Every structure is written in C-alpha cells, then in structure tokens.
Structure 1
Amino acid sequence: MLNPELLHGLRNLSLAARQAAQGFMNGAHASRRHGPGMEFSQYRPYQPGDDLRRLDWRLAARSDRYYLRESEVDTCLTVHLLLDASASMNHRDDNGLTKLDYARLLLAALAYISHQQGDSVGLTILSPAGLRHLPARADTRQLPRIYHALETAEATGHFPDAATLAPLTARRQRSLTVCVSDLYEEESEINALLTRLRAVSGDVLLLHLLANNELKFSYQGAVTFRDLESGRTMQLDADQQRPAYQQQLQQWLKETAQAARRKGFDYHQLSTGEPLDLAIREFLRRRNLSS
C-alpha cells in the first residue's frame, strides 16, 4: 500500500497515512533509548567504569554477580514539516498525480509516524499568500489538524519572499526539519530558507520531488509547455530536444545534490511515480540519528 496512486485513490488522507506507515512502524525504533532514567527497563552486566550507584546490590547478593539497572529515557523529537505550495507543485505526472498530491500523502505519513513515535510534530505550508503554520504539538488532536491543512492546501504563485518566511527563523528551536519541494526557484530562495533553518534548528532533511515525466521527458512530438508560475510558454519538438534536456537535467540534479550536502542538508531525490518507502525510510534514518 505504498503505491502513491492507490493511496491517493483512497480519497482519505488519514487512512492513506496509516496505510503508508503500516509497513514501517513494526521495524521503526521506538522513541526511547536505554539509560539512567526513571522507568525500569532491563538489567545489564556491570562493566568497568559504570556508575556504581546503579548497581543492583540485592541481585548481587543473591547471584554473586553484578548487574546494572537500565531504564528508558524519552528521546522524543520536535519534527517540523514544510510543504512547498508554490504553483509549480501543480505539475501533473503521467499517473495522474500532481506533485502536491504526492507531497500531501508523504507528509501525512511522516506526521503519522512522528505522532506514533511520541514526537511533537508541526506543519508549515509555504505559499505567497502567507504561511499556514501549525506549531509542533504531541496531543491527540494534532494529526487531524495536520491532515485538514494538507487536504485544503492549494499550490499557487511563486515561492514566498524572505519577508513572508522571516517568522520561521525568528526563534531558535531544536528540531528535525523535513522539507518537500521541487526546488523550482528564481534566486535560491528555498535553499536560503533551509540554510537559515539549519542554523537555528539543526537537522534538515530535503526531499526533492520531481515528476516521472520530468525525469524521463516522456513527451512526444510538438509540445507547448507553460511555466506554472510565470505563465510563459514555449513550443518545441520533444523528440528532438530530449537528449539535450536529459543531459542538462542530470547535470542540474548532480549540482543541486552536491550544493545541498555542502550546506549540511540530508538530500534525497524522489519521483511522483515511485512508492513512498524511500522517503519514509530516509525520514526514519534521519530521525533515529537525531534522537
């Protein structure tokens, strides 16, 4: 049930999120680690250098062996989900899904997983009309809030300007930021935002979303393309332009990935034609490294 077309066909974001996360929840690390906390978890043999105050002396008296009492310590995170809702996210793939459709499914699944892990999770929808921001919470009503915001999100206009984005970086709060975007930008405004967020909040996972027909340039014959954000049009012969387009695209993707990693982002390229498992796996990996 990680197929994006099937999930989208459910027409129920809450159900789709649960289905998408189902295969990963059993293998995901719990949102706790063993350590000197308050809630008892297990015993472990004593090793030189361990804190003697944690020895179980009664057990030692009975067994003539030394064991430490391990306990569980909460390692819950704050997860901040970002959705690029500029007009380029309306681009539709051959499977009928837009980038926005795919991003909704993915972010809903990540929100569900975060909630199951005990994390505080928030969402910001980035659009030129302003930010739609749900502060991170861990209460039971947070998931319905996030699902509603995602379901009603519309992709319009250009990516927001720096003044609109300023509130996101006004406060320092340690968190894992997950951004889903097609990185369609005019002057590196998306990268500038993520650079500032990394400085004030820490880890950034950038999920670069492209449509399968963009990657393969599956168009044929004479085609008229329209820029979804500027409205400009271009006519060309797709078969004739395919080799040059694919060469330039691969070079841009390579440079984009290198630049993102130089800035300290975790960068992963996604396609709207692929299941959600790659993105979920990378999220869980980054989350566990951040714990």
Structure 2
Amino acid sequence: MLTPELLHGLRNLALAARRAAEGFLNGAHASRRHGAGMEFSQYRPYQPGDDLRRLDWRLAARSDRYYLREAEVDTSLTVHLLLDASASMNHRDDNGLTKLGYARLLLAALAYLAQQQGDAVGLTILAPAGLRHLPARADARQLPRIYHALETVEAQGHFPDPATLAPLTARRERALTVCVSDLYEEGTEISALLAQLRAVSGEVLLLHVLANNELEFTYEGNITFKDLETGRSLQLDADQQRPAYQEQLGRWLHNTAQSARRQGFDYHQLNTSQPLDGALREFLRRRNSAG
C-alpha cells in the first residue's frame, strides 16, 4: 500500500506520481478474480510499466479491471487540473503532510494518468496574487512543466477574488475539470467558480481534501487554534468541545456534498492520511463518461 507518507518521502514528484498511478492500476487488477469462462482475446492484463495509452478505460470503469487493447483507439480529451493554493491548505496532519503536500501528490498522479492516456492536460494554481496557468497540452514536455509548478507552489492568502478568476471562465472549451480544495471560503466563491466552469467547460470533479486530525479531532486538552487565512486565534478545551465539533463538522460535510451534487459536480471527500486510490478511481470513472 503506497501511503501518502511513503510517496512524499520519495522527495521526487515525478517518481511519486508514476508509483501512485501504476500502483493503483496494478493493485486494483490484482485484487479482482476473473469470472469463469471469461475470454478477452483482444486484451491482456495490465502490468507495471505498460504504456497507459493502450489501457481500455471504458472496460476499466465498467469492471474495475485493467486490460490493454491490442489495437489503440483514440479516446483522448482535455483535462484541466485546478489547485486551491490559499493559506488554509497549509494545515498539517498528524502524519506530517499538509493538505497542499497531499494535493501535490494527487494532482501529479492525475496528470501522469491523463498524459499517458494521450489526453491534453493543463494546470491552474489558484492564488490570491494571480493565476498560475499552464494551458492544456499533450506533448512530452508537459508533465515536467506541471511537476515543476506543483513543486514550487506555496499556499498563502485568501482564495482569489472573482476578478482574478475571470480569465478561467472567459472562453468556452470542452474539458473535464478536476479541482482539489479544502473548500475553506468566506462565502460561496469556490462553488461559484466551479458552477461557471461547469457551464463553459462541461464536467467538474470536486476532490475535497481534509486532514485526518480535523476529521477525527485528534487534539487533546487545552489548545490554541489559529486561522491560517485570517490570523484569528481561539483557545478551547479540545476534549470538552469534541462532540459539538464533530456534530457540526458532520452536518457541514453532508450539506457540502449535497450542494455540490445539486450543482452537477461529482464530489469526492479525501483524507490526507489515506492512499490516493479513491481519488484516482473517481477520476477514471469521470474520465470515462466524459470521453
């Protein structure tokens, strides 16, 4: 099992992306048994190191099994990756990994999967000082560009204002948009952006990243919390506040998921202590239906 800590410990984003993507595909294949009498004469099982451009994504999404086609087919599309780089993404889990660090690993693995399939993949980093945008491309040099942008990004400030975000929705371009964010917002600025992107681009997959220590509220005793974006601090007794916190968090997560789906987004919650497999599987399913 390739945990986020192990991938982060490689200190090499390109290697971590490849290990995560190929480990996911190989693990999913190995965990399934073939039904009696099933014949796939035009396929062969995926093996680590195989060219992912020959992977039959439609069959994988239907059966959760991974096979290569004997003959390639053109199923490419445009994948637009969005990273929320506001300061709240600096929140650190008990495993030492920040939300931003987890998002780096995930987006690098998604870019690798998309590029190997022949998709044009782009990246936009959403920062208050301005957008860092890599237009979608399918050439061999795109992955190093994306890895470099992810490796050098720093989370700071608030989520960008509408004027900063305007270039993202100015042009209609059919794409699968994948947004990684902790959804920390003052109002509805993140969901408003995604609603606009769905209107001009099509499919939106929202990957909601949360740290395990905030999901489980693992803190104990008297503790001071500091808002990473406003600087405000709050002192409380963690043991005393735990039941109320968990009840309020559960209500917020339920409402957030419902609201996202009402707006037509595919929503998936992530935990920074868990492997990337769930998010990679959601991407595969959404990619199949969008292609």
Q: Tell me, yes or no, if the aligned pair for 2:194 and 2:204 is still in contact at 8 Å.
A: yes
Q: Residues of 2 paired with 1:30 and 1:162: CA distance?
A: 39
Q: Tell me, yes or no, if the aligned pair for 2:78 and 2:176 is still in contact at 8 Å.
A: yes
- 2:56 corresponds, among 30, 47, 50, to 30
Helix, strand or coil at the partner of 1:220: coil
Q: Tell me, yes or no, if the aligned pair for 1:102 and 1:272 is still in contact at 8 Å.
A: yes
Q: Structure 2 matches for 1:157-196, cutoff 5 A?
A: 157-196=157-196
Amino acid at match of 2:195: T
Helix, strand or coil at the partner of 2:11: coil
Structure 2 counterpart of 1:199? 199
Shift of 1:73: 4.6
Matched, 1:228 2:228: yes
Matched, 1:2 2:2: yes
Q: Residues of 2 paired with 1:24 and 1:154: CA distance?
A: 28
Q: Residues of 2 paired with 1:2 and 1:287: CA distance?
A: 23
Higher strand share: 1
Matched, 1:108 2:134: no
Q: Residues of 1 paired with 2:223 and 2:249: CA distance?
A: 18
Q: Tell me, yes or no, if the aligned pair for 1:86 and 1:159 is still in contact at 8 Å.
A: yes
Q: Residues of 1 paired with 2:74 and 2:279: CA distance?
A: 25
Provide TM-score, normalisation by structure 2.
Answer: 0.85
Structure 1 counterpart of 2:214? 214
Shift of 1:238: 0.2
Shift of 1:72: 6.1
Shift of 1:75: 1.8
Q: Residues of 2 paired with 1:126 and 1:80: CA distance?
A: 13
Q: Residues of 2 paired with 1:24 and 1:217: CA distance?
A: 29
Matched, 1:130 2:156: no
Q: If you compute each CA radius of gyration, which structure gives the higher value, 1 or 2?
A: 1
Matched, 1:81 2:94: no
Change (3 A) 1:216 1:205: same
User: After TM superposition, which residue ranges in structure 1, 4 or more long, deviate above 4 angstroms?
Assistant: none
Amino acid at match of 1:278: G
Shift of 1:74: 1.5
Q: Tell me, yes or no, if the aligned pair for 2:173 and 2:200 is still in contact at 8 Å.
A: yes
Q: Residues of 2 paired with 1:2 and 1:177: CA distance?
A: 26
Structure 2, gaps ≥5 residues long: 26-45, 60-68
Structure 1 counterpart of 2:251? 251
Q: Residues of 2 paired with 1:14 and 1:5: CA distance?
A: 15
Helix, strand or coil at the partner of 2:95: coil
Q: Tell me, yes or no, if the aligned pair for 2:128 and 2:160 is still in contact at 8 Å.
A: yes
Amino acid at match of 1:154: E
Structure 2 counterpart of 1:262? 262
Q: Residues of 1 paired with 2:265 and 2:155: CA distance?
A: 24
Change (3 A) 1:240 1:152: same
Helix, strand or coil at the partner of 1:286: helix
Amino acid at match of 1:131: L
Q: Residues of 2 paired with 1:206 and 1:236: CA distance?
A: 32
Structure 1, gaps ≥5 residues long: 34-40, 43-70
Structure 2 counterpart of 1:46? none
Amino acid at match of 1:132: R
Q: Residues of 1 paired with 2:72 and 2:82: CA distance?
A: 31
Provide TM-score, normalisation by structure 1.
Answer: 0.85
Q: Deviations over 1:75-112 (max 9, x none)?
A: 20100000000000000000000000000000000000
Among all aligned residue pairs of Structure 1 and Structure 2, give the percentage whose two residues are the same amino acid.
Answer: 77
Q: Residues of 1 paired with 2:135 and 2:143: CA distance?
A: 12
Structure 2 counterpart of 1:16? 16
Helix, strand or coil at the partner of 1:121: strand
Change (3 A) 1:285 1:31: closer
Amino acid at match of 2:150: L
Q: Tell me, yes or no, if the aligned pair for 2:58 and 2:288 is still in contact at 8 Å.
A: no
Amino acid at match of 1:17: A
Shift of 1:200: 0.2
Aligned residues: CA RMSD: 1.7
Shift of 1:30: 3.2
Q: Deviations over 1:196-250 (max 9, x none)?
A: 0000000000000000000000000000000000000000000000000000000
Aligned length in residues: 256
